[in-house]
């Protein structure tokens, strides 16, 4: 997987372990815990669930199914929330969810310019850079240059379309199926789907990049 770019918040040094915002969150969590408003152990269990049980594993399974099932793909692109909820394999998708399909002519890239709206139900916890001001501004100003920082260089004739998530609508990218995967099972295909490929900052892994 390509290395993530060094996107630092304004005023944050490259060697800082926590950003000013993260430090404020830690301080707030400490105060709320001391007052008995939250239970740190419960928060830890919630975080662990999103990291290990939900995302991005759910999203990878959804993408893999769309790669092998044309009817499901059609329904997913039309209304992702309804298509996923109809499967009955996951918890209900609680917000309006849209799938943005990549094609040979168009590459989709997702951002939330106002805050950090993110499809937690599908992808789990958002990466730290997704919430950063540098990412949210660069993706609008220079999306092609930003992708190159992620290690993704697209041909000049490929349109890069940046789409903005909101509190009402969550977005994720439906990447193109890698070549050389004909006859692969959904389970095998899901192993090729990365979190970044469902945000648009990366592509799925190639067949030779996963263990048999």
Could you give the residue numbers annotated as active site?
112, 115-117
Q: With the CA atoms of 20, 56, 124 and 121 taken in that order, what torsion angle do they form, in degrees rounded to the nearest 10? A: 150
C-beta separation of 176 from 123 below 8 A: no
User: What are residue 117's phi and psi, to 5 degrees?
Assistant: -60, 135
Helices (H), the chain: 20-34, 40-49, 57-68, 70-78, 80-87, 120-123, 133-141, 143-149, 186-190, 195-199
Q: What are phi and psi of 108, to 5 degrees?
A: -95, 145
3-state secondary structure of 88: coil
Q: Are 112 and 163 in contact (CB under 8 A)?
A: no
């Amino acid at each position: 997987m390509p290395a993530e770019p060094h996107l630092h918040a304004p005023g944050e040094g490259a060697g800082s372990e926590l950003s000013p915002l993260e430090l404020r969150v830690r301080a707030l969590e400490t105060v709320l815990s001391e007052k008995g408003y939250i239970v740190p152990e419960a928060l830890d269990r919630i975080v662990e669930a999103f990291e290990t049980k939900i995302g991005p594993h759910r999203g990878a399974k959804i993408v893999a199914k769309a790669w092998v099932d044309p009817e499901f793909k059609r329904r997913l692109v039309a209304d992702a929330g309804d298509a996923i909820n109809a499967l009955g394999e996951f918890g209900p998708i609680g917000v309006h969810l849209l799938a943005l399909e990549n094609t040979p002519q168009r590459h989709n890239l997702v951002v939330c310019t106002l805050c950090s709206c993110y499809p937690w139900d599908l992808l789990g916890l958002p990466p730290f850079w997704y919430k950063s001001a540098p990412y949210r501004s660069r993706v609008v100003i220079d999306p092609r240059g930003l992708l190159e920082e992620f290690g993704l260089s697209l041909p000049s004739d490929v349109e890069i379309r940046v789409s903005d998530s909101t509190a009402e609508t969550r977005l994720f990218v439906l990447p193109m199926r890698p070549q050389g995967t004909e006859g692969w099972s959904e389970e095998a295909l899901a192993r090729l789907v990365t979190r970044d490929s469902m945000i648009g900052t990366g592509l799925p892994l190639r067949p030779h990049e996963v263990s048999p």
